[in-house]
Structure 1
Amino acid sequence: MGMGDTLKKLRMIYGYSAKDLSVLLGISPSYLSEIENNKKEPSFDILKKYSATLDIKLSSLLLFSEEYSKSNGDKWIRSKMAKLINNFMKEND
């Protein structure tokens, strides 16, 4: 797994189509596809645009990618989302 896998998963979680996200990032859909399929590495500028578009700190985006790559990505995401939801529910009780 690479950075592209993480970015694709985040795009899907946030509900963006590849076309819509490519417009927001200012890149072509084909370039986005190459990034998401790990054929090209995103530049630092592209990562900053992802960070701003998804409202995620760049450092968190990089950490998320590292952790996602080390583990069974989908299982890791589910556990993090469950923890986030539980914390949110506790705050609103």
Structure 2
Amino acid sequence: MAEQLTRWSVTDGTVIKHMHYGLRVQIPSGEIGVVDTLEIGDNYVNPADWPAIGSVITVVGAGYAGPQLRLSTRPSHLDEARARMASNGQ
């Protein structure tokens, strides 16, 4: 089994599907996670403006809901994750 993405870890992922509730994104480990509509941006993002299928986007691990990887692309979450990495010397 691939290593699970930890909370606040930043990685790139490829958008593989648009769903009514958000995006499905595959990260380099092969794991597929979900970016909920509320986690796409700091403010509402119209589905017409979501990243295109096949786009590579930067995501941050938001934990797991059961076995489902949750991701975020909110700029504020990416900033927080990078600040945490910097304070940990990563």
Asked if Structure 1 and Structure 2 have the same fold, meaning a TM-score greater than 0.5 normalized by the shorter chain, the answer is no
Between Structure 1 and Structure 2, whose CA radius of gyration is higher?
A: 1
| More strand, by proportion | 2
TM-score, normalization by structure 2 = 0.32
| More helix, by proportion | 1
